Amino acid sequence: MKLTGAQILCESLVKEGVEVIFGFPGGAVIPLYDTLPQYPQLRHILVRHEQGAAHAADGYARATGKVGVCFATSGPGATNLVTGIANAFLDSVPVIAVTGQVHRDFIGRDAFQETDITGITLPITKHNYLVMDVNHLATIIKETFHLAHTGRPGPILIDIPRDVFLEQAEFNYPEKTDLPGYKPTLQGHPAQIKKAAKAINEAKRPIIIAGRGVNVSKAYNELKLLAETAQIPVATTLLGVGCFPESHALSYGMVGMHGMVYANYAIESSDVLIALGMRFDDRVTGKISAFAPHAHIVHIDIDPAEIGKNVRADIPIVGDVKMVLQALNKQIVPVDRLEWVNQLDDWRREHPIDIRDDDGLLPQYVVRQIYEITRGEAIIVTGVGQHQMWAAQHYLFNKPNTLISSGGLGTMGFGLPAAFGAQIGCPDTTVWCIDGDGSFQMTIQELATIVQEQAPVKIAIINNGYLGMVRQWQQLFYKARYVATPISCPDFVKIAEGYYIPALRVKHREEVAPAIEQAMAHHGPFLIDFMVAPEENVYPMIPPGATVAEIMEEPRQPVKAISDSKRLKVSNI
Amino acid sequence: MTPTKHILLALVEDKPGVLNRMANVFRRRGFNIHSVNVLETIEAEGGDRPGLTRVAIVVSGSAVILGQVRKQLERIVDVVKVLDITTKDVT
């Protein structure tokens, strides 16, 4: 039977098990949208800006482990996706973006709403396609899904001209793909695994850094077995947070620029560093030449191009983290590394990540209260900035994929749409969006989407009246010249009410817990505007390009009470 | 590390835009391409599969970074294989 291009796309999405599409229509995709009602099993969710569609697909994918799908029209619709696609690329998230394109005859002639989106997204997609023949469409979609979630996951874009949606072809969905240039290595090389096992067995001070690859390959049990058998302390990257339970005795939290002091000390002192599914981002390593100076580095990653890219790998193993660990664990000898583990525990006691006693409303305290009241069971989605680091530091993540955050790209505005996507994917889980007042204003329009879809996302705005992370850098490294960082806010409570979302403003410490409880008790979405101490900084901090020796810890003097007069108000501009 | 000239030979799928994807990797890593030669296509047997094309690229750079670039080229889905076929100094 012959189907139109639009029908072929929808049929293929159904065959791939897609249930939700985040999108926004426009001229070039009207034929596609016109076909959607024939496929009630595909739930289309109308966002308010295409960036929101891409982030929602991203949040959905991270929370569920499925592929996230988004639609946009040609030209501005497609370019509005770009930030979201780049975000998914940097964090290796399987997102499929389908964009409409102008009629084939008009391509390359600067037609209305034409943009070369495959050219634009070339460096920020795992792969992309411009479909010039409807007969190729089914094969391309098959390839797209295969590419998106296998190997190192990543976003794929399919650009479909308007007339290809309308043209007909026989529909045969291929059983498998034929991609001679794409064969991810899954099993690690046995000789390398043997070498790694020997290094680990002989190690005195080993440490594991677990990254997003552990989440992607679901290597949780294998990681736990390795850590427990060989008594190896486990630290994680930001995107690895939760892949190893943070309440585990061998968990030493996040590493890097705002990582735990003890985790960074452990890396500094380690003799064998086992890097699992991570890529040695500069936010993890600091000054590369001084990173893990005494360590033999075992780097396990599925992407061969990551090996040796940023940090030398003494024992590289290309493969799927889970499969490699399964093979590796068989050769690991149980040992007792009491001395080393005690050393880390001493460091932890000396440099705890605690919250100081303060009469003011501390952002860290807000995060901690959200943790207490959700009993650590929520999915936490963040924007980017100080609040993001406080969320990562002060919520105890015991389950994988419960911290959803923009790591590689550091995209402000990720929080709200990604939280929405996560909530759509996990309707029975509590989802908290912990956002900054700056980040939140970047994609605030998605409040309407949340309401339209009745997604019960709880929103905590950590409102300090500044673009706080930049302000912190200005304070510490630019002699407190606060250029363009004081930011005024609308009345978020009134904004929320305008979107029919109940909301509260919290100014005092004692109001925090009742407000969070009220939000949790409410059936639908809820917003709390936490007016926190404006000039609170994120500590610990390793200054950019610096070494572990230069870690800045929280100064132990009381901080001034909240001074509301410091806030920039619209009325006094 | 002193830059030396290297010849990379890539086996790629004969599809539009492959050269663009490859050139992009060199651009991002700041390499000047001295020359590019696209050799004749090997037709695929049967079906409408695209054939394979060989692309020879001469660039100079440090062996370590070029090793990295080679892997980044192989990451491109349409690129099947990349070999460094420099056997001696090609300057």
Cα–Cα distances in angstroms (integers) from residue B89 to residues A29, A550, B3, B5, B6, in the given order:
54, 45, 11, 7, 8
Q: How many residues does chain B have?
A: 91
Chain B touched by A288 (CB under 8 Å)? no
Nearest to A180 among B64, B76, B80 (CB): B80
- Spell out which residues of chain A touch residue B69, defining contact as CB-CB under 8 Å: none
Residue-level pLDDT at B62? 85
**Nearest residue of B to residue A310, measured between CA atoms:** B68
Residue-level pLDDT at B57? 95
Residue type, A90: L
pLDDT in tens, chain A (573 residues): 899 999 999 999 999 999 999 999 999 999 999 999 999 999 999 999 999 999 999 999 999 999 999 999 999 999 999 999 999 999 999 999 999 999 999 999 999 999 999 999 999 999 999 999 999 999 999 999 999 999 999 999 999 999 999 999 999 999 999 999 999 999 999 999 999 999 999 999 999 999 999 999 999 999 999 999 999 999 999 999 999 999 999 999 999 999 999 999 999 999 999 999 999 999 999 999 999 999 999 999 999 999 999 999 999 999 999 999 999 999 999 999 999 999 999 999 999 998 998 889 999 999 999 999 999 999 999 999 999 999 999 999 999 999 999 999 999 999 999 999 999 999 999 999 999 999 999 999 999 999 999 999 999 999 999 999 999 999 999 999 999 999 999 999 999 999 999 999 999 999 999 999 999 999 999 999 999 999 999 999 999 999 999 999 988 654 444 455 566 665 544
Task: Tell me where in chain A the CATH 3.40.50.970 domain(s) lie.
Answer: 2-170, 363-572
Q: Do A181 and B13 touch (CB under 8 A)?
A: yes
Of the CATH numbers 3.40.50.970, 3.30.230.10, 3.40.50.410, 1.10.357.10, which one belongs to the domain with range A2-170? 3.40.50.970
- Spell out which residues of chain B touch residue A127, defining contact as CB-CB under 8 Å: 76-78
> Tell me, what's the ipTM?
0.90
How close is the nearest chain B Cα to the Cα of A463, in Å?
38
Interior/surface letters B5-21, b for 16+ CB within 10 angstroms, e for the rest:
ebbbbbbbbbeeebbeb
Q: What is the DSSP string of A123-185?
A: GGSSEEEE---GGGHHHHHHHHHHHHHSSS---EEEEEEHHHHHSEEE----SS---TT----
Burial of A274 (0-12, 13-18, 19+ CB in 10 A): buried
Q: Looking at domain A190-350, does it have CATH number 3.40.50.150?
A: no
pLDDT in tens, A279-304: 999 999 999 999 999 999 999 999 99
| Phi, psi (deg, nearest 5) at residue A368 | -60, -40
Of the CATH numbers 3.40.140.10, 3.30.70.920, 3.30.300.90, 3.40.50.970, which one belongs to the domain with range A363-572? 3.40.50.970
- pLDDT grade, residue B4 (50/70/90)? confident
d(CA B37, CA A385): 47
Query: Distance between alpha carbon A102 and the CA centroid of its chain, in Å?
Result: 32
Nearest to A127 among B24, B64, B77 (CB): B77
Q: Please choose, from the candidates A131, A110, A155, A92, the residue with its C-alpha nearest in 3D space to the C-alpha of residue A5.
A: A131
Residue-level pLDDT at B47? 59
Q: Tell which CATH architecture fits domain B4-84.
A: 2-Layer Sandwich (3.30)
Task: List beta partners, residue A26.
Answer: none
Q: Do A308 and B13 touch (CB under 8 A)?
A: no
Residue in A182, A303, A306, A312 to test binding to B, most B beta-carbons within 10 Å: A182
Interior/surface letters A208-241, b for 16+ CB within 10 angstroms, e for the rest:
bbbbbbbbbbebbebbbbbbeebbbbbbbbbbbb
How close is the nearest chain B Cα to the Cα of A127, in Å?
7
The residues spanned by each domain of chain B are 4-84
Residue-level pLDDT at A562? 43
- Spell out which residues of chain B touch residue A308, defining contact as CB-CB under 8 Å: 64, 67-68
Residues A63, A253, A338, CA angle at the centre, nearest 5°? 135
As given in the structure block, the two tokens for residue B19 are 């050269």
Asked if A90 and A487 count as a contact pair (C-beta separation under 8 A), the reply is no
CB proximity under 8 Å: A 108-147 to B? 118-119, 122-123, 126-127, 147
**Nearest residue of B to residue A123, measured between CA atoms:** B24
Residue-level pLDDT at A561? 43
pLDDT in tens, A318-364: 999 999 999 999 999 999 999 999 999 999 999 999 899 888 999 99
CB proximity under 8 Å: A 163-182 to B? 178-182
- Spell out which residues of chain A touch residue B66, defining contact as CB-CB under 8 Å: none
Residue-level pLDDT at B1? 60
Residue-level pLDDT at B39? 87
- Spell out which residues of chain B touch residue A181, defining contact as CB-CB under 8 Å: 12-13, 74, 76-81
Q: Do A180 and B52 touch (CB under 8 A)?
A: yes
- Spell out which residues of chain B touch residue A309, defining contact as CB-CB under 8 Å: 68
pTM of the predicted model as reported, rounded to 2 decimal places:
0.95
Mean pLDDT of B8-16: 93
Residue-level pLDDT at A569? 61
